[in-house]
């Protein structure tokens, strides 16, 4: 049978796979679960968890169901932030990519966890201003 490149293309993970993987990583880290612990619970290797989280490998529906159960969340959590397939919104999609890029870094995830804990909104605004100045410089 000849090699079908069209079929191979459709098997590659998409940006949705990367989004879902990022959400798995974010939830896992928020709960303090290691890749090894998640892998053991799923009866897979930690390398497979890494590939899921990077969006290199697709997560099957049954595996995603297991992950949601282990990470104590609903399935919809992994799709939060994706544009509505019934009416895609380009601006929302760009904002989602920005958030996903931020949360894909260890520092971004730490900041996202800690930032809401800063009480006075004035201090949060000052931190945002500081980061803006640093990014522009």
Give the model's pLDDT for residue 69.
Answer: 97
Query: Number of structural domains, the chain?
Result: 1
Question: 80-114, pLDDT tens digit by residue?
Answer: 888 777 765 555 566 667 777 787 777 888 888 88
Asked if residue 116 belongs to a domain, the reply is: no
Question: 10-62, pLDDT tens digit by residue?
Answer: 567 788 999 999 999 999 988 999 999 999 999 999 999 999 999 999 999 99
For the chain, first and last CA: distance in Å? 57
Asked if residue 9 belongs to a domain, the reply is: yes
Helix (DSSP H) and strand (DSSP E) numbers for the chain: 8, 0
Asked if residue 13 belongs to a domain, the reply is: yes
Q: Locate 59 and state its tokens.
A: 């997560």
Residue 39 and residue 89: Cα distance in Å, rounded? Answer: 35
Per-residue pLDDT at 7 exceeds 70: no
CATH number of the domain bearing residue 59: 1.10.260.40
Torsion, Cα of 81, 40, 50, 117 (10° steps) = 50
Question: Measuring CA to CA, which residue among 46, 47, 58 is closest to residue 21?
Answer: 58
Give the model's pLDDT for residue 102.
Answer: 80
């Amino acid at each position: 049978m000849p090699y079908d490149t069209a079929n191979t293309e459709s098997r590659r993970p998409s940006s949705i796979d990367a989004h879902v993987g990022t959400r798995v990583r974010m939830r896992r880290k928020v709960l303090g679960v290691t890749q090894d612990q998640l892998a053991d619970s799923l009866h897979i290797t930690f390398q497979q968890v890494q590939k899921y989280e990077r969006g290199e490998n697709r997560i099957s529906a049954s595996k995603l169901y297991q992950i949601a159960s282990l990470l104590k969340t609903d399935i919809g959590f992994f799709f939060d932030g994706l544009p509505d397939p019934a009416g895609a919104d380009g601006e929302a999609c760009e904002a989602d990519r920005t958030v996903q890029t931020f949360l894909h870094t260890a520092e971004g995830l730490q900041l996202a966890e800690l930032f809401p804990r800063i009480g006075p909104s004035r201090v949060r605004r000052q931190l945002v201003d500081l980061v803006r100045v640093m990014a522009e410089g």
